[in-house]
Amino acid sequence: MTIFYRIRGARALTERGVIMFEAVFDNLVAYFQATSAPSSRIYPLYLITSLGLAFFAFWQVERAHAAEHGDDHDGGNRPTFLQYVFDPRIIFHPSTRQDVKFFFVNSLVYYALIAQFLIGVHIFATLFHSMFVGGFGVLDTPVLSGAAGLVVYTILAAIALDLGVYIAHYMFHRVPVLWEFHKVHHSAEELNPLTLFRMHPVDLFITSLVVGVLSGLAFAGIFYLTADEPTAFGLFGLNIITFLFYVFGYNLRHSHIWLNYPLWLSRILVSPAQHQIHHSSDPKHFDKNFGLMFSFWDQLMGTSYIPRKFEKLKYGLSRAEPNPFKTVADIYIKPFVWAGDVLRETMRVPERRQNALIAGFFIMGALVLGQWQYHKVVVAQGPAIPSVKLANLTWTEVDTAIKRGYRTAIIPTGGTEQNGPFVVLGKHHLVVDRTSHDVARALGKTLVAPVMDYVPEGDTGEKPTGHMEFAGTISIPESVFEAVLEHTARSLKTHGFTEIYFMGDSGGNQDSQSRVAARLMMEWAGEKIKVANLDRYYAANGQFASLQNAGYSDTDIGWHAGIRDTSEVLAISPKSVRITKQNMISVPRLGYSGAPTKASAKIGKSMLALKTRAAVAQVKALRAEWAKPVEEKIAEAGGG
């Protein structure tokens, strides 16, 4: 038996070792394939565009030289463009060779190993979103949606990235212990694109952590305000703002090529020249221009230095000793030794020791709080449910959701019916698919069944009635509709859902839904399973009153496929509304009432919000009613 456990333990260790090796290998391969990924700053496209900007810089240099020397300008002794860009003195400089060696070694030390211990942005996003919901509750209706959410998140994500880099960069210059690690980056005596990767693992780790916190906060904030997973407008899988920044000369930042922006632009964006100033070993340039993309952080913090003209620069830590690292091993080891010396010196001074202890206390407190929130939200609850719609989940994700308390289900019903000659047959599907999602998000811990599009629409056969008089409409008998509703609810009950709501977007669905809900509620009363039809969503949502208050007459509002319905579809899927002069006059039967030409997406958003709000309010009212003691219910009914 002992031998068996030893063998099993050895196998487990071997399996973990294989998994660890595979993870390391995958990250190593990804690192060396960086030039093929647009997210990499040395992607060929960015290098090519930098080359184009370098030609502009070269032209400026040559023009200035010709203006200064006039007829004495000796073009024969001047370097060509290729000699200017690919200067052999820089390419073969010991500092450049050191950059190349460190690039390969650090690929294994940091990117393949240490980076595995970083806390991902999604974890910070989950933590912050949980804090928003816990502190402010779930929003009844999204504050941002559609294009507005896309634009805001695109900007906010770029700002979060840039501010995170600025804060970390500022800390590494102003906190003595951290500066010892950041010295590695400033020890380059010549700049080249690989100097970007000349960063100590501690520098990379802390910078990534700070950026992760702010990026997670931005993601969670927009997620909370939109009730949907935010996405940024991108190009090649990259935030469009970051992409443009990389395209317009990012790689010239770490180079000998001087490219300065006009003064007004330099106050907004960090030019390559401004970052080269940051690397200068001239004391007047120390601790200047910390920004990555935006220079307004430096403007706000008083760390900005905008050159007015070309300045000849020398790089390195100081004029006396530009690069104290003689080997790659020195780059890793010396910063730890120096940081230890700084800490010992700090602890010798009472005031500094007190400040260090206070800072350490807050850091430890933040780590403990972060770990507690992490285990509370991420470990205890598991990963976030990727969607509230059952059809978009695997069975294991649904099972996990139910175990985590997702016990409420919405069964949305739509229809396939005519909506005049200008709105598609799937109108109800489009609307209730959106509103059921919004209601589920607002309630929390709620999942949504697939929309039921086969509903009673009229008699079929030789003498069709109702909407069946119009081509394309599909109808089923009420008995069939009620049977499908019932067995859908029974399926959900089987899996563990304890609150089930029917939510119909069509008037013809309401009576059947109410009957089925009443029958099941009575049958399951002893099991404390609740079933209800959210009839206020359709019949008491305040849409008529809202439009009347806005000045629309009852005739304008209409009933079927009028202002309300058409506006809702315009807000969700504009291409599904086809109001043309031909459509409005070329058919013998219109199939609509009201003035749909007065519809708009703006009206539609308010109509959708009213429906969502009515459904959420009804659920809360039902829950409050169900929670009352039996005696109170009897008294309210007049039986006491």
For 376-396, what is each residue's pLDDT tens digit? Answer: 555 555 556 778 899 999 998
What would the pLDDT profile of 331-356 be if each residue is shown by its tens digit? Answer: 999 999 999 998 888 888 777 677 66
Sign of CA dihedral 373, 375, 378, 382: negative
In terms of Cα–Cα distance, which of 117, 113, 102 is closest to 28? 113
pLDDT-based confidence at residue 79 (cuts at 50, 70, 90): confident
Side chain identity, residue 463: K
Q: What is the mean pLDDT of residues 179-191?
A: 94
**Length of the chain measured in residues:** 640
Residue 579 DSSP symbol: -
| Model confidence at 1: pLDDT above 70 | no
| Model confidence at 12: pLDDT above 50 | no
Residue 157 DSSP symbol: H
- Residue 536, number of CB atoms within 10 A of its CB: 18
Tokens of 622: 């039902």
pLDDT-based confidence at residue 510 (cuts at 50, 70, 90): very high
For the chain, what percent of residues have pLDDT higher than 90? 49
What would the pLDDT profile of 400-410 be if each residue is shown by its tens digit? Answer: 889 888 999 99
Q: Between vectors from CA 4 to CA 2 and to CA 5, what angle results, nearest 5°?
A: 65
Task: Say whether 532 sits in a helix, a strand or coil.
Answer: strand
Residue 475 DSSP symbol: B
Report the distance separating Cα 251 and Cα 284, nearest Å.
Answer: 24
pLDDT-based confidence at residue 271 (cuts at 50, 70, 90): very high
| Model confidence at 229: pLDDT above 90 | no
Report the distance separating Cα 472 and Cα 435, nearest Å.
Answer: 24
| Model confidence at 508: pLDDT above 80 | yes
For residue 446, the surrounding DSSP H or E stretch is strand 446-448
| Model confidence at 287: pLDDT above 80 | yes
**Radius of gyration over every alpha carbon of the chain, rounded to an integer in angstroms:** 33
At residue 13, the pLDDT reads: 38
Residue 254 DSSP symbol: T
- Residue 263, number of CB atoms within 10 A of its CB: 10
| Model confidence at 613: pLDDT above 50 | yes
pLDDT-based confidence at residue 127 (cuts at 50, 70, 90): confident
| Model confidence at 255: pLDDT above 80 | yes
Sign of CA dihedral 626, 627, 628, 629: positive
At residue 84, the pLDDT reads: 86
Report the distance separating Cα 594 and Cα 456, nearest Å.
Answer: 23
At residue 171, the pLDDT reads: 94
At residue 104, the pLDDT reads: 83
At residue 345, the pLDDT reads: 85
| Model confidence at 17: pLDDT above 70 | no
At residue 14, the pLDDT reads: 41
Pairwise pLDDT comparison (635 vs 567), residue with the higher score = 567
| Model confidence at 118: pLDDT above 70 | no
Question: Out of 92-96, 344-348, 434-438, which region has the weakest mean confidence (pLDDT)?
Answer: 344-348
- Residue 236, number of CB atoms within 10 A of its CB: 12
> Quick one: 278 exposed, middle or buried, by C-beta within 10 A (0-12, 13-18, 19+)?
buried
Report the distance separating Cα 482 and Cα 393, nearest Å.
Answer: 26
What would the pLDDT profile of 294-316 be if each residue is shown by its tens digit? Answer: 999 999 999 999 998 889 999 99
pLDDT-based confidence at residue 103 (cuts at 50, 70, 90): confident
Secondary structure tally for the chain: helices H, strands E:
26, 6
At residue 362, the pLDDT reads: 66
Side chain identity, residue 179: W
Q: What is the mean pLDDT of residues 239-267?
A: 90
Tokens of 306: 């905008």
In terms of Cα–Cα distance, which of 331, 279, 307 is closest to 102? 331
Return all residues near 148 (Cβ < 8 A) that are at least 6 apart: none
For the chain, what percent of residues have pLDDT higher than 70? 82
